[in-house]
Amino acid sequence: MALLGVIGIFALKKAVEILFDEGRKILVKRITSEKPQSGLAPGDEIEPNATEVKTQAPDTAALPDRIDTKEKALGQPIEESLWNRERGDVEHLVKLLEIHIRNHHLAEEQLARFGGVAFAPPIVINNLREEEKEIVSNMNRLQKILTRVYGREVSIPEIGEILNTP
């Protein structure tokens, strides 16, 4: 296995960071916001850390071929010829994800300015949901490409059910 060039390493690192960090955070937040908050009375506030999803760590002994953390992904060797074939698509998806993540943050800021979902105009809520759909779609495509590049399944345990739906 040959070593990747500096630009190739940067592109791969950026793709893995988006998949396992920023994109994951947005989708975990989406999952937790869609789940009903049991035990909350109207007007009760949720602690900021309550949006974290607590999941049981997958049994790594049972799934030795799965890449499910950023550290595992960045530590894996890849075949340079596979990477060269997929690099353009990965770079394109990374750019798209950066745009949609930025738009998602803007929509969240607009939502906050209006005081939340209950007071926001429908267009703001629609913009937020549309950006989430685009993030899911592009992350799913990126996950499939990285699975081919690594030759091992790339998965994100907290958001697997979102990314693996058509």
Domain parsing of the chain, residue ranges: 6-31+64-163
Asked whether 131 and 102 are in contact (CB, 8 A), the reply is no
| Burial category of 107 from C-beta neighbours within 10 Å (exposed 0-12, middle 13-18, buried 19 and up) | buried
Range 118-144 average pLDDT = 94
Q: What is the pLDDT of residue 88?
A: 94
Average pLDDT value over all residues in the chain: 79
Q: What is the pLDDT of residue 79?
A: 83
What's the pLDDT band for 157 if we cut at 50, 70, 90?
A: confident
Query: What gap in Å lies between CA 105 and CA 110, rounded to an integer?
Result: 9
| pTM: predicted TM-score of the whole model, two decimal places | 0.75
* Buried b / exposed e along 40-59 (16+ C-beta atoms within 10 A): eeeeeeeeeeeeeeeeeeee
For 38-97, how does the pLDDT look when each residue is reduced to its tens digit (9 = 90+)? 444 444 443 433 333 333 444 444 445 788 888 998 888 888 888 999 999 999 999 999
Give me the phi and psi of 76, to 5 degrees please.
Answer: -90, 135
Q: What is the pLDDT of residue 50?
A: 37
In the structure encoding, which two tokens stand for residue 31, read together? 């999952």
Query: What gap in Å lies between CA 139 and CA 93, rounded to an integer?
Result: 8
Residues 6+ apart with CB under 8 A from 152: 65, 66, 67, 76
